[in-house]
């Protein structure tokens, strides 16, 4: 997997604050206004910063998860027009670490590569031969988010409950963006850490990193009862 930051809005924080300053008849600062807007929920101003990535060597399964973020802009390598003979593929660690499972997986992939080539040799169009290609087949995506929707992507996909591959993509995206705009780092977190002073988990199957919201309420009610008594 390879993630490249193609471009980011120059002086992204300044671009956000320039837009926000128009709302409040103020002057841009060095991040104070942007933070204030984020913390108060005035998120529309974050849409004035754009981020463009190129993501290579991920599976079609992972790409499909990224494409579900409909607020982004995407262009994907076309299996309809591009020949996929000898396609590269992604192997999940849970399969790679299991000798028997990995053997079966490799056999399936290699047979699929052969079947695809057989169909092409039979003059079956690429757009139809692709029907035998697996989700493991790797792909290339160009991805563009405005900062507001990139934050939402990170909130969802940095969560421990996200699948390993897309979580890896999100982590690398964050690393690249923070290198360019360090002031964005506090916003690019899993959803359990959006509220830094009161972190809590909304997942049914929590990783245990932070308490569930219902547990926080329970503690609150217990403390409240103690105060009354």
Report, as residue numbers or ranges, the catalytic residues: 157
Rg of the chain taking only CA atoms, in angstroms: 23
- Provide the CB-side half-sphere exposure for 70 (13 A, CA): 0
């Amino acid at each position: 997997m390879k993630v490249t930051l193609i471009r980011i809005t120059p002086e992204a924080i300044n671009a956000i604050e320039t837009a926000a300053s128009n709302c409040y008849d103020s002057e841009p600062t060095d991040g104070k206004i942007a933070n204030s807007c984020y913390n108060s929920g005035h998120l529309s101003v974050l849409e004035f910063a754009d981020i463009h990535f190129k993501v290579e060597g991920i599976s079609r399964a992972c790409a499909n998860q990224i494409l579900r973020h409909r607020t982004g802009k995407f262009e994907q390598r076309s299996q309809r027009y591009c020949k996929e003979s000898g396609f590269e593929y992604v192997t999940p660690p849970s399969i790679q670490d299991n000798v028997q499972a990995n053997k079966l997986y490799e056999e399936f992939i290699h047979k699929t590569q052969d079947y695809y080539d057989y169909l092409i040799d039979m003059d079956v169009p690429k757009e139809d031969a692709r029907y035998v290609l697996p989700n493991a087949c790797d792909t290339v995506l160009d991805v563009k988010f405005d900062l507001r929707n990139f934050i939402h992507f990170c909130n969802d996909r940095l969560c421990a409950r996200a699948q390993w591959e897309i979580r890896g993509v999100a982590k690398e995206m964050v690393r690249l963006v923070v290198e360019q705009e360090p002031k964005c780092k506090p916003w690019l977190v899993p959803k359990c850490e959006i509220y830094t002073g009161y972190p809590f988990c909304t997942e049914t199957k929590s990783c245990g990193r932070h308490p569930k919201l219902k547990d926080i309420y329970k503690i609150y009610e217990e403390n409240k009862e103690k105060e009354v008594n």
